[in-house]
Structure formats: structure tokens, C-alpha cells
Amino acid sequence: MNHDKTQNCNPSDYVPEEDEINLLDLLLVLAKHKKMIIGTCLVTFVLTIGVTLLLPNIYSATAQILPPENESPFYVSMLKSRTIADAIIEKFDLSEVYRKKSQNQTYMSLDGHVSFSVGKKDGILQIEVEDKDPKRVAEMANAYVEELSKLSDKDHLNAVAALRQFLEVRLEVVKEGLAQTEQKLQAFQEKNKTIRIDDQTKATIEAIARLKGELASKEIELGVAMPAQEQQTAQDAVLREGFEQLKAQISALEQPPVGGKIPGDVTLVTSIGPGLGLQYAGLLRSFRMQVTLFELLSRQYEVARIEEVKNPQRIQVLQTAYPPATKSRPKRSLIVLLATFCSGFLAIFAAFFREYITSMSNEDRETWQQIKAYLRFSR
């Protein structure tokens, strides 16, 4: 009876095939070249320590601010502006610190030492500065906050001053129009003393006039706010919503012309002539609208004058930068470990490559010589 050969094989008699990797052969190569591998790691370890000790310590300091709602991207743009950068460069003499000959080179170096980020949830703006001097790095971060506050307040005051001047001009125009309308209404009443309208009609006319005055005021606010900003803010959205609501209220009060009457005058009493009644209603509504517009613009003008005088703080400082107690980089231990590990890996690769070169066949050796010959640039 024939038995399978594998059943009678003794594990101790097993002989590996020629192409099979033997762990002992690998260990043998490592042991054979241990001096080269260990020496490479030691030299790299010592040299890396020396190099990292020559690297300067870099410190980082962070300041945090809270800009007005939905205006964080605008404030980041201000922080990146040349206006603030030039002020920081001049204040700390960064051309000498960075050893740069031109202002533009200094600006580029500064750009590599500062970063700005905005929290997605809370909108907090973070200013992080890096420098070799722990005291200076904190002062630079705080200087960014100071310069940003100055620039923000200046822009805000310019906008408020422009608004105040605009409202001042508009008030004069509305005041003249109000005086003219009042004169026309008085002259009409003196000429037509018997004209009367009922309370409901008068209330409707005054309601429409008041709403149209508010509508004109909102339109002025939108005309001032929207061109001044590239992106619509939450305040602009509220203004726009209020503007549309006023238009809807006026449309609900007004009715399309019926029987030759103007919108809003359908309840005029019929005891007076229709022509005089419509004329009186139009004059009264125009007068009430001018009065409402004048009152609203006067309030806005007073608010703008107060804003211009009190100079409010636009940004809120949440965290002031302090001199750091420890460096942020370089991570010397990590650099030494990574360099030693990489050199050890390359040394092991070199050991196996040398072993392969010494043990290859004559045919492979001739091929290797041809490769070396082709790689020479002198050919």
C-alpha cells in the first residue's frame, strides 16, 4: 500500500526552497552589518542634536476678539491690510528684526509669522503671532488688536459722519417741502372753509401718509447702508424686511381708483364737490407724509450726531496676549527621533543592498557593471 509522501515527512527534514525568505538569513545580514547600522544611527543622532540646538526657539502668543455680529470676515480683511501691517512693522522695527532691506520683503516675512482664524460656531476672531522674543510676540499680538480697533473706529466714525451729513441735507429738503405743502394746505382751507371729511376718511389718509413717510425713511436708510458694504449684514436684512412690510401695509390700505377717486379716498363724504374733496385729501395726505418723514429723519439725525460724539468701541477683547512661558517650536525631541529612525531605515536598506551586490551571480554582476557604466555622465 502506497502512502502519501507528505504524511511521512518529518518537519526537521524540511528544506526551504531557493526563493523562500528565511528569517535567519535576514538576521544574519543585520548582524553582519551591525556596526554600519548602529554607527549611522549614532552619527545621525548626535548630528541632529547639534543641529536642533542651533535652531532658535520660536514662541507664539494669541489674542482673541469678538467683532460685531456677522462682520468677522470683514475684520479679517482689515487685519490683513497693508495699513495695519505697516503700522506693526514701524512700531516694532521689523525690518531690523527680520533683516530685510525693503518694506515689501518685511511685509512678506511678517505675513509668515501671523495667522488669523474665525470660529465657525462662536464667530470669535483669533490672532496668533510667532516670534523669537516671548515678550515681543505678546506685544505684537496685542498691537494687532489695538490697530484693528483704531481702524475700525475710524471707519465707523467716517460712516457715521457721512450719514449725519446726508441726513442733514435731506432734512433741509424735507423741511422746505413741508413748508410749501403746509402753505398750500392753509391757502386751500382759507379759500374753501366749508370742506369737511369724516373721521374714518381722515384716519385712513393719515395712516397712509404715516406709512409712506416711514417707507421713505426706510428707503433712505437702505440707500445709505447697502452701498457702504459689499455683503448684506443682518441689520440690512432687517431694514429690507421692514421696508417690504411697510409696502404691504400701504397696499392693503390703498385701493385702486374707483369713480375718479385717488387711492385711499374712497370713503370721502359726498356732500362736497368731488374735485375739491380729492384735492383736499391729496394735500392733507402729502402734508401728513412730510410731517412723518421730517420727524423720523430728525430722530435719525440726532442718533447720528450722538454716535459721532460718543465714539463707541466696535470690538470686544476676549483674551489679551501674554508672554509665553515655553516655546512652541522646534520640537527637538521629535526631530531627533524621526531623523534617527529614518537614518536607521536607510542603513538597513543599504546593508541588504550591499549583501545583494556581493552575493549576486556573475551574469547579474555583468548587468550591474553595465548599469553603472550607463549612469556615468562622462559617457
Per-residue pLDDT of 182-214, as tens digits, reads 888 888 877 776 556 666 666 766 777 677 767
Q: How far is CA 108 from the centre of its chain?
A: 20
Of the two residues 231 and 119, the one the predictor is more confident about is 119
Cell of 28: 544574519
Residue 348 is predicted with a pLDDT of 92
The arithmetic mean of pLDDT across residues 73-87, rounded, is 91
Burial of 246 (0-12, 13-18, 19+ CB in 10 A): buried
Q: Which stretch of 20-29, 270-279, 304-313 has the lowest confidence by average pLDDT?
A: 270-279
Cell of 77: 480683511
Residue 14 has pLDDT above 50, yes or no: no
Q: Which of 374, 215, 181, 143 is nearest to 288 (CA)?
A: 181
Q: Characterise 233 by phi-psi region: left (phi > 0), alpha (psi -120 to 50), beta (else).
A: beta
Q: What does pTM read for this prediction?
A: 0.60
Please state, in angstroms and rounded to a whole number, the distance separating the CA atoms of residues 185 and 192. Answer: 10
In the CATH hierarchy, which fold is given to the domain comprising 59-152?
A: Alpha-Beta Plaits (3.30.70)
3-state DSSP assignment of residue 114? strand
Question: pLDDT-derived band of residue 232, with 50, 70 and 90 as boundaries?
Answer: low
Please state, in angstroms and rounded to a whole number, the distance separating the CA atoms of residues 112 and 185. Answer: 70
Across the chain, what does the average pLDDT equal? Answer: 78
As annotated, the residues of the chain forming the CATH 3.30.70 domain(s) are 59-152
Burial of 65 (0-12, 13-18, 19+ CB in 10 A): buried
What spatial distance separates the first Cα and last Cα of the chain, rounded to whole Å?
Answer: 69
